[in-house]
Amino acid sequence: MIRVSGLRKSFHGQAVLNGIELEVPAGSITIIIGRSGGGKSVFLKHLLGLLRPDSGRIEVDGVDFTRLRGRALDEVRKRYGVVFQGGALFDSMTCRDNVAFPLREKLRLSAAKVRHRVDIALDRVGLAGIGDKYPEEVSGGMRKRVAIARALVTEPEIVFFDEPTTGLDPVLVNTIHRLILELHRRSKFTAVMVSHEIPEIFEIADRVGMLHEGRIVEQGPPAAIQESANPIVRQFIRGEPDPPA
């Protein structure tokens, strides 16, 4: 379980995270929604330990992640899998080597075991035949699926998705969402996803949190968020434009 409390972060005197309170139950898919520039990416970087907060706590199974350094921090990260917005695939490696990389370097498995697990991982994301291509040689949707395969190949307990469907057409958005849901059912990992895809995310989320101006203004099951009386949440879900200034 991940519990975030009182998380604050400012850059050059400007508050980006303004006291975030959020609970991510173990084994759930929790999706953070919110407008562009609302602090979602900064929040995710805090969850990954890429940024340090000015104050507040991020507890991962009771351990305050923000106080960890060096090896202790890496021990928590070994339980993580991350799908970055652009995939963040190593462009000097083939798709197969990208998926194999964490197995070779993190788990130090034998070549035969690596090959076996990479085959399974690529097969699960529907890319059994494209392993020998480089990331630049495959489509955006395929790159996202390779990134998902790489994130899940070590069977992590917690998986973070940073806008995994940005830039994809509606068919691919649903394909990726269905894939994530299927992989989640199979592996039961805890998922934290940042996404803009309304209303599609309500079909896969167990919990949704709305981040606005550095605060979680509403969180709960998808149905509760969809029926929220909060005008900020309602405006975002309905995609209503801002009133004229």
Partner 1 sequence: MTEPRLTPALRPLEGLGRWVIVAVESLGRFGSFLALALVTMVTPPFKVAALLGRIHYIGFRSLLIILLTGAFTGMVLGLQIFFTLSRFGSEAFLGPAVALTLVRELGPVLGALMVTGRAGSALTAELGIMRITEQIDALTVMALSPMRYLVAPSILAGIITFPLMTALFDVVGIFGGYLVGVKLLGLSAGTYFGEMQTFVDMGDVMMGVWKSISFGIIVTWVCTYKGFHVAHGAEGVARATTQAVVLSSVLILVWDYFLGSVLP
Q: Which residues bind partner 1 (CB under 8 A)?
A: 48-50, 74-75, 77-78, 80, 82, 84-86, 88-91, 101-102, 105-106
Whether the Cβ atoms of residue 82 and residue 45 lie closer than 8 Å to each other = no
Q: Both tokens of residue 99?
A: 């998926």
Euclidean distance between CA atoms 217 and 99, whole angstroms: 37
Nearer to partner 1, 19 or 140 (CB): 140
Give the nearest distance from C-beta 240 to partner 1 in angstroms.
31
Query: Which 3 state secondary structure label does DSSP give 14?
Result: strand
Nearer to partner 1, 139 or 221 (CB): 139
Give the nearest distance from C-beta 32 to partner 1 in angstroms.
17
Euclidean distance between CA atoms 240 and 75, whole angstroms: 43
Nearer to partner 1, 109 or 217 (CB): 109
Phi-psi category of 36—alpha, beta or left, where left has phi over 0 and alpha has psi -120 to 50?
A: beta
Nearer to partner 1, 65 or 236 (CB): 65
Give the nearest distance from C-beta 75 to partner 1 in angstroms.
8
Nearer to partner 1, 34 or 49 (CB): 49
Euclidean distance between CA atoms 128 and 166, whole angstroms: 23
Give the nearest distance from C-beta 154 to partner 1 in angstroms.
8
Q: In this structure, are strands 2-11 and 14-24 parallel, antiparallel, or unpaired?
A: antiparallel
Euclidean distance between CA atoms 89 and 67, whole angstroms: 29
Give the nearest distance from C-beta 97 to partner 1 in angstroms.
12
